[in-house]
Structure 1
Amino acid sequence: MADDAVQRPLTGITVLDFSQFLAGPSCALRLSDLGARVIKVERPDGGDASRSLYLADLAFDRDSALFHAINRGKESYTADLKDARDIAAVKALIRNADVLIHNFRPGIMERLGLGWADVRHLNPRLIYAGVSGYGHAGPWKDRPGQDLLVQSLSGIAWLSGDRDGPPVPAGLSITDMMAGAHLCQGILALLVRRGVTGKGGRADVSLLETAIDLQFEHLSVHLNRAEPMPERSGISNANVYLAAPYGIYETADGYIALAMAPVDRLGELLEVPELAAFRPDRWFEERDEIKRLIRDRLIQRGTSAWLELLEPAGIWTAPVLDWPALRAEPAFTALQPIQSVRSPDGETLNLTRCPIRIDGEILSTGRPAPRLGAHRQSIDREQECAT
């Protein structure tokens, strides 16, 4: 769907994005997808550090493809926040903005004269949103707020992998991306409140609080039981509190996932009569023995053969697909999850699109991330006309 094919709900909202890397920019990206104008405020000497953070050496239009993935559709305004003239120009932007996003460490914005107490007087309708690593108080507040470190500190890494193996972090920057989503939720809630009261407000999230919230399903059990860290299953671990057969198993030609399923019924289908001996109230306590029997049976046939047997019987199961296999699926094509952006030089880069549909319509954009400082002059002219 073209950029202007649907009236986006945040059309007319201006966002100043002072953040870099993932959490803050991903929040601003989603606001942009929903129609907001996002002006990325960057330092003149290099801009957002993710411009030069190359994954697999993949570059596009002078910057990393990663930068384009989370900054597509934005504008770039360069400013030295230690320069009095640039600070004055930035404050002029703030006076006319709706939202300000930053992810500086606690105290930095205040030292720059851009803290909440400073800017709320410039613009009482402003929504001021910040991401930190560990909040604004406590002994960890000045630690580096980085996704892998937070996964490690929060217990997330201990949830994956089998019992006798090491902790395994998620292969994605889950706390960064979810913190960005949480911040977006806070901003949208404050925009709704502003529509009622006319007053702005402040939203804050931290990577650590996000990591804790991500574990609510497990922590709500742990916090109400006198227990140490729950033990991971020794075989096909996928959830520390779920009974067998929950997990991923190797087949003769790949892997298959089994979710919640009656062990006795599974035994009938797999022709493993020993599984009938396990009572339902023992499916958790004896999960490793149950999983061993399932594992030893599933390895004997290919994934497709098992799916043809289990799916018609109502067993919750799925093949474990890699990216090429996923992309080959008609279900992937039906969702139209990929969009292309084009650089000023005519290069094309394929990226994921906004996963939200508005009024049934897909939200996509053909605009790449901005070149550093590309919009400084035009935005300054706008400010001059506004005053």
Structure 2
Amino acid sequence: MFLPLKGLIVLEFSQYLSGPSAGLRLADLGARVIKIERPGGGDPCRKLSIKNLWVGEDALNFHAINRNKESFTADLKNPADLELVKKLIGKADVITHNFRPGVMEKIGLAYTDVQKINKRIVYAEITGYGRKGPWKNKPGQDLLLQSLSGLAYTTGDDGDGPMPFGLSIVDSICGIHTVQGILAALIRRQKTGMGAYVELSLLESAISLQFELFTTHYHSKAGIKRSAVSNGNPLLGAPYGIYKTAEGHIALAMMNIPELTKALAIEELARYTQADVFAKRDEIKAIISEKLLTQNNAYWLDRLKDAGLWASEVNDWNVLRKTDLYKSVQMENTVSINGREAYLTTRCPIRINGERLFSDKPAPLLGQHTQKIKEELL
């Protein structure tokens, strides 16, 4: 199939997760993404192993984030290498980087510098907390951003300590925002011929991710409080949350309390109405929680389904992979490494004209494509 970004060249100076995750999605959509890496080390994520899993000499997670890309090594402090990179910039459509404020300026590759080389360039810069302000030099690391931004108070129950998400949610959402900004700038360039400077920060992405929570906080005198029982979302009333049963767990979404009372045959709930789901949230959820312990998942899910109420089992990854639902979406993507070694990862979640986007192009070895790129583009 003809991918929509085919023909675009992206120079990725980014490292770790936020910028490279944006590059991954651009590559999946057809762009030629070239990682600009320092000789001898490259993207530090190459050596940041998760659970001590490796593919060749690089960490497995580096492969997951950087498949479908090329690697060009250059010492940006070396005038000759810097000159080569500037020539590449002249051929590129997009640049991404997530260095701390001031790093690219010292090298001579700030947006104003790059604009002189290529006025049509779309230049996307990610920082931790913005280019200016009291936090500009703080390390922009995902757990720190979750902690600073309030995200750690969205999960867990009231009375628990702050609880972070079990994944790099801020890096990931900032990568998504970066792709959105880049695509918007490319559309503008198509119309006007003008490039753009796209600026993001992890903090702003973390706050934006919580737009419902912040908007509620701005207007709620009582504030936002997590449920003390089976908290699923601090903004939603009973019964929203995950509950333990006699054998496993089930999730209950938004539903009418009188209908739930009838479906589960809980006499104690009869005194509550839909008007009570916020003011008496924890009382209602405690009653539901006690009742659900008396039967297994299948029993309760059958009754909820018969009543037309929104509920589901709670799967771990092993269970999910065995389901027909998981198999039907075909999210698994096998990537071969030099025809000898392979690893399993996920594919791009976007479908275009009904086609799923798979890729078997592995993450590059450090500097693997330097000579090829010199021959083709310089």
Fold conserved (TM > 0.5)?
yes
Provide the TM-score with structure 2 as the length reference. 0.98
The DSSP-based 3-state class of the residue aligned with 1:232 is coil
The DSSP-based 3-state class of the residue aligned with 1:332 is helix
How many aligned positions are there? 378
Superposed CA deviations along residues 16-39 of structure 1, whole A, max 9, x for unmatched, are 000011000000110000000000
Q: CA deviation at 1:383?
A: 3.3
Query: Which residue of structure 2 aligns with residue 202 of structure 1?
Result: 197
Query: Which residue of structure 1 aligns with residue 113 of structure 2?
Result: 118
Tell me if 1:29 matches 2:19: no
Q: 2:327 aligns with which of 315, 333, 347?
A: 333
The DSSP-based 3-state class of the residue aligned with 1:311 is helix
Q: Which amino acid aligns with 1:258?
A: L
Tell me the distance in 2 between the aligned counterparts of 1:226 and 1:282.
19
Query: Which residue of structure 2 aligns with residue 45 of structure 1?
Result: 40
Q: Which amino acid aligns with 1:140?
A: W
Query: Which residue of structure 2 aligns with residue 367 of structure 1?
Result: 361
Tell me if 1:69 matches 2:74: no
Tell me the distance in 2 between the aligned counterparts of 1:271 and 1:238.
23
Query: Which residue of structure 2 aligns with residue 104 of structure 1?
Result: 99
Q: Which amino acid aligns with 2:269?
A: L
Query: Which residue of structure 2 aligns with residue 192 of structure 1?
Result: 187
Tell me if 1:285 matches 2:279: yes
Q: Which amino acid aligns with 1:8?
A: L
The DSSP-based 3-state class of the residue aligned with 1:342 is strand
Q: Which amino acid aligns with 2:10?
A: V
Tell me the distance in 2 between the aligned counterparts of 1:359 and 1:279.
46
Tell me if 1:263 matches 2:279: no
Q: CA deviation at 1:169?
A: 0.7
Tell me the distance in 2 between the aligned counterparts of 1:54 and 1:153.
25
Query: Which residue of structure 1 aligns with residue 227 of structure 2?
Result: 233
Query: Which residue of structure 1 aligns with residue 345 of structure 2?
Result: 351
Residue pair 2:18, 2:175 contacting (<8 A) in 1 also: yes
Q: 1:152 aligns with which of 121, 126, 147?
A: 147
Superposed CA deviations along residues 291-315 of structure 1, whole A, max 9, x for unmatched, are 1110001011111111111112111
The DSSP-based 3-state class of the residue aligned with 2:366 is coil
The DSSP-based 3-state class of the residue aligned with 1:223 is helix
Tell me the distance in 1 between the aligned counterparts of 2:263 and 2:251.
16
Tell me the distance in 2 between the aligned counterparts of 1:354 and 1:383.
28
- Mapping of residues 151-190 of structure 1, within 5 Å: 151-190=146-185
CA RMSD after TM alignment: 0.9
Q: Any runs of at least 4 consecutive aligned residues in structure 1 with deviations exceeding 6 A, and if so which?
A: none
Q: CA deviation at 1:225?
A: 2.5
Tell me the distance in 1 between the aligned counterparts of 2:352 and 2:197.
26
Q: Which amino acid aligns with 2:371?
A: Q
- Mapping of residues 76-95 of structure 1, within 5 Å: 76-95=71-90
Superposed CA deviations along residues 248-287 of structure 1, whole A, max 9, x for unmatched, are 0001111000011111221112111111101322211111
Q: Percent identity of the aligned residues?
A: 50
Q: Which runs of 5+ in 2 are unaligned?
A: none
Superposed CA deviations along residues 17-63 of structure 1, whole A, max 9, x for unmatched, are 00011000000110000000000000112111111111111111321
The DSSP-based 3-state class of the residue aligned with 2:200 is strand
Tell me the distance in 1 between the aligned counterparts of 2:253 and 2:220.
25
The DSSP-based 3-state class of the residue aligned with 2:344 is strand
Q: 2:374 aligns with which of 349, 367, 380?
A: 380
Tell me if 1:220 matches 2:215: yes
The DSSP-based 3-state class of the residue aligned with 2:348 is coil
Tell me the distance in 2 between the aligned counterparts of 1:54 and 1:311.
43
Tell me the distance in 2 between the aligned counterparts of 1:195 and 1:211.
30
Query: Which residue of structure 2 aligns with residue 131 of structure 1?
Result: 126
Tell me the distance in 2 between the aligned counterparts of 1:280 and 1:370.
56
Tell me the distance in 1 between the aligned counterparts of 2:277 and 2:270.
11
